[in-house]
Amino acid sequence: MQPTARRNSRATRFGATAIATWAATLLAACSSPQVDKAVPAPAPATPTAPAPKGTLNVPIEYYKLANGLRVVLSEDHSVPVATVGVYYNIGFRIEPKERTGFAHLFEHLMFQGSQNLAKGQFFKLVQGLGGQLNGSTRFDYTNYYESFPSNAVETMLWAEADRMHSLDLTQDNLVNQQGVVKEEVKVNVLNQPYGGFPWLQLPQVANTNWYNAHNFYGDLQHIDAATLEEARSFFNTYYTPSNAVLVVAGDFEQAQVRSWIDKYFAVIPARQAPPIPDISEPAQTAEKHAKQTDALAPRPALAIGYHVPERWTPEHFAFGLIDEILLQGEASRLHRDLVQKRGYTSGVSGGINLLGNMFNYHGPMLWSASLVHDPATSEAQIMAAFDENIDRIRTEPVTQEEIDRARRKIRSELYDLVGSSSRVGLVDLLATFALFDNDPDRLNRIEGEFAKVTPELILKTAQQYLRPENRTVLVVAAGKPEAGAAK
């Protein structure tokens, strides 16, 4: 359930926020107790306009309950599997000051039991069905999902509603998960070579607004200092129906699922959604440089980050194609030059939003490229080669052939996601478009927006956003000699 920076962005442009594990053994499934009858009927659905012929057309029903919970349904009977996702509008970025790591800590607390499911029973419930589940904390949301045989939809809706309504927050659970989260920080960051590189380190250097620039994984002292009163306040503030989106995708009957959602979720009391703090980032006007030493790293590393255009603007889609052309896959310009031609590194990774994809965030974001290299190759050599590629895309229009190839790759990824039997990635995009934009049908318009991008727009976007003044360079010095290296 920990955040993991993507190393292979080709596979995750539209992918799920976290990779879950299928259950190895069959455990006894829990039965779902009855809950009080539903309160007022939900608002009428917002119909989905038919997509133009030949484009993606995922069926989407979108409505809101009286308590503020936004609901997205996507019915598909191709395989007998359903996926439920609940997304809350609280992530690393907007967690309370002086309590860094609290958003992540609370993600763990959500698995510690509720009124009708004791600690550990949520896992047993899903695994007993032969399903998969996970939760994750990202820049702007915390999410939970389950994918399971479709005859258990009602059971899983009941289970998610139970913990949204009546999470079991105790001192013992808090202390236990404080220990778990601290150990996770140590294992995945502090005691791991390149542990926070670059997803955790680069934003702290590139950004100036505290909300965008603090230690997202959390200061161990802040995690230790969290009190039960603070945990309960956090739950009552952020884990409310009005601050959440529920998505159900897969094999179900819409009318039946609507009645179950009304039965289990509409009875949860309404609470006002919390205000979102100012997360705007001032424009960067001068190139930034930072150097850090990783005591566990055997080789030096380099990361370069640029602030990107606002989501869902024409320039945003143009930058998505720039990312594809420059960085994604073995046919990309940076891979062909730095890896295949010059041999400076074994790979270059990165993209827009290292903890997800170019759509599932809300607020300022970086596009980054990072690599690990041999000590014999200098930072100056790498930067010179990198700049050659950046200068080229800023001064020479890309060919229509390159644009068409990039679009085909993006389209393939998008259709792979929609066709996945688990539908986890599909749920992720539907949920985040509803959470941040109140418009899950944006999913069906992605392909059309990419189709509008011209070589002229790519050139203009590259000139505006790939300026040296808009970038940050992070150098990581190796603190541990490679095995067999001369001393």
pLDDT digits (tens, 9 = 90+) for 233-266: 999 999 999 999 999 999 999 999 999 999 999 9
Structure confidence by residue, pLDDT tens digits, 320-336? 999 999 999 999 999 99
Assign 484 a pLDDT band (cuts: 50, 70, 90): low
**For the residues 409-432, what does the mean pLDDT come to?**
92
Q: Are both 9-264 and 288-422+439-478 of the same fold? A: yes
**For the residues 346-355, what does the mean pLDDT come to?**
96
pLDDT higher for 24 or 465?
Answer: 465
Range name among 32-36, 196-200, 204-208, 462-466 with the lowest pLDDT average: 32-36
Q: Does 8 have pLDDT greater than 80? A: no
SS3 sequence, the chain?
Answer: CCCCCCCCHHHCCCCCCCCCCCCCCCCCCCCCCCCCCCCCCCCCCECCCCCCCCCCCCCCEEEECCCCCEEEEEECCCCCEEEEEEEECCCHHHCCCCCCCHHHHHHHHCCCCECCCCCCHHHHHHHHCCCEEEEEECCCCEEEEEEEEHHHHHHHHHHHHHHHHHECCCHHHHHHHHHHHHHHHHHHHHCCCCCCCCCCHHHHHHCCCHHHHCCCCCCHHHHHHCCHHHHHHHHHHHCCHHHEEEEEEECCCHHHHHHHHHHHCCCCCCCCCCCCCCCCCCCCCCCEEEEEEECCCCCCEEEEEEECCCCCCHHHHHHHHHHHHHCCCCCCHHHHHHHHHCCCECCCEEEECCCCCCCCCCCCCEEEEEEEECCCCCHHHHHHHHHHHHHHHHHCCCCHHHHHHHHHHHHHHHHHHHHCCCCHHHHHHHHHHHHHHCCHHHHHHHHHHHHCCCHHHHHHHHHHHCCHHHEEEEEEEECCCCCCCCC
Q: Is the pTM of this model over 0.85?
A: yes
CATH superfamily name and code, 9-264? Metalloenzyme, LuxS/M16 peptidase-like (3.30.830.10)
Mean pLDDT over all residues of the chain?
89
Percentage of residues in the chain having pLDDT higher than 70: 87
What was the pLDDT predicted at 29?
Answer: 29
Structure confidence by residue, pLDDT tens digits, 144-186? 999 999 999 999 999 999 999 999 999 999 999 999 999 999 9
Q: Does 111 have pLDDT greater than 50? A: yes
Q: Does 13 have pLDDT greater than 60? A: no
What was the pLDDT predicted at 65?
Answer: 98
Structure confidence by residue, pLDDT tens digits, 22-44? 222 222 223 333 333 333 333 44
Q: Domain 288-422+439-478 adopts which CATH fold?
A: Cytochrome Bc1 Complex; Chain A, domain 1 (3.30.830)
What was the pLDDT predicted at 14?
Answer: 57
What was the pLDDT predicted at 19?
Answer: 28
Domain boundaries, the chain: 9-264, 288-422+439-478
Q: Does 10 have pLDDT greater than 60? A: no
What was the pLDDT predicted at 421?
Answer: 87
Percentage of residues in the chain having pLDDT higher than 90: 84
Q: Does 221 have pLDDT greater than 60? A: yes
What was the pLDDT predicted at 55?
Answer: 81
What was the pLDDT predicted at 482?
Answer: 66
